[in-house]
Chain A
Amino acid sequence: MLSVEQVCKTFTTEILPETEAGDSKNKKKKVKPVKTKIVAADNITFQVEAGDIFGFLGPNGAGKTTTIRMILDILRPDTGQITWKGKRTMDIPRRSFGYMPEERGLYPKMVVDEQLIFLARLFGHDKAYAQRELDYWLERLGIAQNRKKKLEELSKGNQQKIQFLATVLHDPEILIMDEPFTGLDPLNVNQLKEAFLEMHKRGKTIIFSTHQMETVEELCEDIVLINKGKVLLNGNLRQIKRDTGRTVVRLAIENDPEILWLDSVPGVTVTKRRADFVELYLTTPTSTDDLLRLVVGRGGHVLRFELAEPSLNDIFIEKVAGVSLAQDPSRYAEVAQEYLNSTTVTR
């Protein structure tokens, strides 16, 4: 089990204060930078079970990379400790970890197989072992024909696969991947997911961060969500969804895409009106059976009546932005849009 216990990390940087326009006195003086403290990790605690696929979530600037670097012992926490199977991570061999940083990086002018074998040897494996593993994985990901090419000659997708190999080739116990699926086409995403599951079958612990909540819902049993250095949510994903105490209904009726009469039903909050269905939250006094009866009684051809869990996406935005979809759908939509824009821009 990987255990992160009450970890804190504060950075101090110097920021130039903004001078007020027209303030002539300030212009003459040399503007002194002001020391500012940035809390990157504020009492972060969570556990990852060995052999788990674990989602590490948070908006940009939440402190994910800092936390990951502390797990990898590239940075040391100010207080708190991080252990793997009872040993502090700074005391276990470096080959136990496989790390795929968010900013991809390998030697662009180096030949693929030389580069990967070099890295595996740095982690302490012998050449024969590295060669064997490499042969297997290149075949497995369908890129064997690229082994003698320079990295910069490969397509983006294939470069990403090589990056994945650089993470797993030394057979680490714990894989930590920052945004492993961004920038891949669906075919490559699938191949990479299969490789993920293979590592899972081999008993590896996989921690990955992503902004694609569907992927998290598909792969992860447990998650942690952090924002501004603090843990907002931690635990089993299904349990987290159940804990919201909400019932989500997706409804579609032929020739009535908007189903406007829903707004007048007590206990119903419409959250999304999409072309293919209308999504709503259901609370007392109306039960799902009541709603179904109402729909049938209204007449019309029911295309869809589906009970669903609240999506992780909604939970994420509610938690991070503090806007509830159920209480304020319009504000929620605004924030969601904003969030979506910011993540696509910074990525």
Chain B
Amino acid sequence: MKNIILIATREFTIRVRKKSFPITIVILAAMLLVVVYLPTIIGFFAKGSQTKIAVINQTNQSSFGGQELKSFLDYSLNTTLDAKGVPQPAKVGKKPPYDINFVQPSETEALRQKVRDSKLDGLLTISRDSTNELKFDFYTNKTSRDTVVQRISDIMSRLTISDRLSRAGVQSQQAANIFAPAKFSLTDTEKEKNDKKGIGGDNYDAAASYGLTFFMVIALFTSINAFGSIIAQGVAEEKSNRIMEIMITAAKPFELLFGKVIGIGLIGIVSILAVVAVGVPAILLQSTVSEALLGDSSPTSFSLAGASLGLVGMFVVYYLLGYFLYATIYAGVGSLCSRIEDVQQALAPITVLQLVAYFIAIFGLQAIDAPWVVVASFVPFFSPILMIARLGIGTVSPLEIVISLVVTALSIVVCTWLAARLYKVGVLLYGKRPGMWQALGFGSISK
């Protein structure tokens, strides 16, 4: 035990002391900051920019079906809805997102030139065709899928319907009733559950919990993969510079194996803690910062509401289990390589296994409660990453958590036993890399 601590301490300190370690932490933290503040940053640059649209009305009418054209356009384009769907008037002293100008037909050619020069976002021409139907032409340099074009097209459809109703003799008050929104309310089970527990509440945000889960799945995959290959390379390096011959006389093989796995695991934990230490305040301050910069809280702000303490706790548990499961195998495989160059090739099967788990998790996020995802979340090697995905956005019963923990713990025991066996044989073997089966001692091999 004392030797495991000594070896783990050495593995930890030599890596932490490297210049690259703080740099890596800073880069990771900076990446997290960018992700968290992306909406604010986008908002900041979008602030003050307006979509300028010029309108030429050739219909000799200023009102359609009781809708006065100018105020209709202004209302439709510049009013934002709050979270509950109540229209919010534009704030005083703040530029509205759309700037609408009515112009004369004689200016058409000059304005088209402005659109071509990107000085104007669009020129909307309203006219009537021979059947007296409203006709719209939107001259713009944007594509048909652009949000501005989509929005204008929607609004013009509504205007057309008002106009048709009016021509059919429907009174404007009746028309307004027809257009009143349906009484549709949504209750999802997760929200209901959280409401009962008194957490989340109105702030519960499905998009945020999806984002957080996605982030955790990626973090689990990349971190285990990265630290696993650091372990394998470390073992191969010790073999290639022959320090292993001395280490093996000083300590038992399993002490060497665990010391390395624990020491490098600690680095992973420290980096995650460091990133969390930067990330959590950043997320908490996000709305404050965005208010200060943008004058209001952005509706797209990422809220932490999706992350209950329980989920974070389970992430830590599954991260540690997943790390141990893979780390011992990485060490065992690393011990079979005599040179560092051989390591990547030898690791290919494990990398593939991890990639499969990762892709199941990523595709699983789209259909988290599908039977195949549920079944896969009990398969050893897939369990940690898939349970994180399911806990994040799906529904998991406590029994399922217990089953997955037991399955993973058992596979850790089996893998550690196999890896220790590989390690014991592998560390003294040089030359051609033996097959896995042989090295485990099931075939015969020099040992």
Q: Is the CB of B245 within 8 A of A103?
A: yes
Contacts of A106 in B (CB 8 A): 241, 243, 246
Cα–Cα distance between A74 and B253 once the two chains are bound (Å): 10
**Residue A147 CB within 8 A of the other chain:** no
Q: Known: A69-B428, A107-B241. Contact between A99 and B444, CB under 8 A?
A: no
A12 cross-chain contacts in B, Cβ below 8 A? 444-446
Let me know if A11 and B249 touch, CB within 8 A.
no
The distance in angstroms between the C-alpha atoms of A97 and B6, with both chains bound, is: 20
Residues of A within 8 A of B2 (CB): 124
Asked if A80 is an interface residue, CB under 8 A from chain B, the answer is no
A-B CB contact pairs (8 Å), 13 listed:
A12-B444, A74-B249, A94-B249, A94-B250, A99-B246, A101-B246, A103-B242, A105-B245, A106-B243, A106-B246, A109-B14, A118-B6, A121-B6
For the complex, give the distance between the alpha carbons of A105 and B242 in Å.
4
A239 on the interface (CB 8 Å rule)?
A: no
| Residues on the A chain within 8 Å of B246, using CB | 99, 101, 105-106, 119, 166
**A63-B10 Cα distance, complex, nearest whole Å:** 34
What is the CB-to-nearest-CB distance from A314 to chain B, in angstroms, rounded to a whole number? 33
With an 8 A cutoff between CB atoms, is A38 at the interface? yes
- Mask of A174-186 contacts with B, CB within 8 angstroms, 1/0: 0000000000000
B244 interface residue (CB < 8 Å to A): yes
Bound CA span A94–B256, Å: 15
Tell whether B3 is near chain A: CB-to-CB under 8 Å. yes
Q: Is B284 an interface residue (CB 8 A)?
A: no
A166 to B14, CA, bound (A): 19
The answer, yes or no, to whether B7 is at the interface (CB within 8 Å) is yes
Residue B251 CB within 8 A of the other chain: yes
Tell whether, in the assembled complex, residue B242 and residue A13 are in contact, meaning their CB atoms are under 8 Å apart.
no
Closest to B427 in A: A74
Knowing that A99-B249, A106-B241, A119-B250 touch, tell me 12 more A-B residue pairs with CB under 8 angstroms: A12-B446, A13-B445, A72-B249, A74-B248, A106-B246, A107-B243, A110-B14, A122-B3, A122-B7, A122-B247, A122-B250, A124-B2
Binding site for B on A (CB under 8 A): 11-13, 35, 38, 69, 72, 74-75, 94, 97, 99, 101, 103-110, 118-119, 121-124, 166
Nearest CB of A to B16, in Å: 14
- Looking at the assembled complex, report how far the CB atom of B36 sits from the nearest CB atom of chain A, in whole angstroms: 36
Q: How far is it, in angstroms, between the C-alpha of A317 and the C-alpha of B447 when the chains are bound?
A: 31
Assess the A105–B241 pair: CB atoms within 8 A. Answer: yes
* Smallest Cβ-Cβ distance to B446: which chain A residue: A11
For B249, the chain A residues whose CB sits under 8 A away are: 72, 74, 94, 97, 99
Residues of A contacting B445 in the complex (Cβ-Cβ under 8 angstroms): 12-13
Distance A72 CA – B428 CA, assembled complex (angstroms): 13
Q: What is the CB-to-nearest-CB distance from A98 to chain B, in angstroms, rounded to a whole number?
A: 8
Cα-based distance from A97 to B10 in the complex (angstroms): 23
Q: Which residues of B contact A124 (CB under 8 A)?
A: 2
Partner of A99, one of B10, B14, B245, B447: B245
- Tell me whether A101 and B242 are in contact in the complex, defined as CB-CB below 8 angstroms, given that A72-B249, A94-B250, A109-B14 are known contacts: yes
Are B250 and A74 within 8 A (Cβ)? no
Contacts of A110 in B (CB 8 A): 14
Inter-chain contact total with CB atoms closer than 8 Å: 58
Contact for B244 among A35, A38, A69, A105, CB less than 8 A:
A105
CA distance A234 to B447 in the complex (A): 27
In the docked arrangement, what's the CA distance between A135 and B241, Å? 26
Cα–Cα distance between A107 and B14 once the two chains are bound (Å): 11
Contacts of B444 in A (CB 8 A): 12, 35
Q: CB distance A122 to B251 under 8 Å?
A: yes
Q: How far is the CB of B94 from chain A (nearest CB, A)?
A: 59
Q: Which of B3, B6, B241 is the most central at the interface, judged by chain A CB atoms within 10 Å of its CB?
A: B241
The interface residues of chain A lying within 8 Å CB-to-CB of B245 are 99, 101, 103, 105
- Tell me the bound Cα distance from A35 to B444 in angstroms: 9
**Nearest-CB residue, chain B, relative to A38:** B446
Q: A124 to B242: give the CA distance in the assembly, Å.
A: 22
**Nearest-CB distance from B1 to chain A (Å)?**
12
List, in ascending order, chain B residues with CB within 8 A of A109's CB. 14
- B1-52 interface (Cβ within 8 A of A): 2-3, 6-7, 10, 14
Cα–Cα distance between A69 and B248 once the two chains are bound (Å): 10
B250–A105 touching, CB < 8 Å: no
Measured CB to CB, the closest approach of chain A to B339, in angstroms, equals: 14
CA distance A94 to B204 in the complex (A): 60
Q: Which residue of A lies closest to B247 (CB)?
A: A122
Residue of B at shortest CB range from A163?
B246
A74/B428 in contact, CB under 8 A: yes
Chain A residue contacts of B428, Cβ below 8 A: 69, 74-75
Cβ distance A41 to chain B, nearest Cβ, rounded Å: 13
Bound CA–CA A110/B14 (angstroms):
8
Closest chain A residue to B244, Cβ basis: A105
Contact status of A122 and B6, CB under 8 A, knowing A69-B428, A103-B242, A108-B241: yes
* Set of chain B residues within 8 Å of A103, measured between Cβ atoms: 242, 245
In the complex, A82 Cα to B226 Cα: how many Å?
44
Most buried by B among A69, A107, A123, A124: A107
The residue in chain A whose Cβ has the minimal distance to the Cβ of B14 is A110
- The closest CB in chain B to the CB of A119 belongs to B250
Task: Judge whether A118 and B10 touch: CB under 8 Å.
Answer: yes
Docked complex Cα distance between A156 and B445 (Å): 35
Chain B residues near A122 (CB-CB < 8 A): 3, 6-7, 247, 250-251
In the assembled complex, the CB of B165 is this many whole angstroms from the nearest CB of chain A, namely 81
The CA of A69 and the CA of B430, in the complex, are separated in Å by 15
Chain B 171-200 per-residue mask, 1 if CB under 8 angstroms from chain A, else 0: 000000000000000000000000000000
| Complex Cα spacing A108 to B251, Å | 20
Distance, CA A108 to CA B340, complexed state (A): 15
Partner of B243, one of A69, A75, A94, A105: A105
Residues of B within 8 A of A118 (CB): 6, 10
**A105 proximity list for chain B (CB < 8 A):** 241-246
**Nearest 3 pairs between A and B by C-beta?**
A105-B242, A11-B446, A101-B245
Closest approach, in angstroms, between the C-beta of A199 and any C-beta of chain B?
17
On chain B, the residues within 8 Å of A101 by CB distance are 242, 245-246
Which residues of chain A are within 8 angstroms of B248 by Cβ–Cβ distance? 74
- Taking the closest CB of chain B, its distance from the CB of A21, in whole angstroms, is 24
Interface residues of B in 244-291 (CB under 8 A from A): 244-251
Contacts of A94 in B (CB 8 A): 249-251
A72 to B249, CA, bound (A): 7
With CB as the reference atom, state the residue of chain B lying closest to A104. Answer: B242
CA A224 to CA B446, docked complex, whole Å: 25
**CB proximity of B252 to chain A, nearest CB, Å:** 8
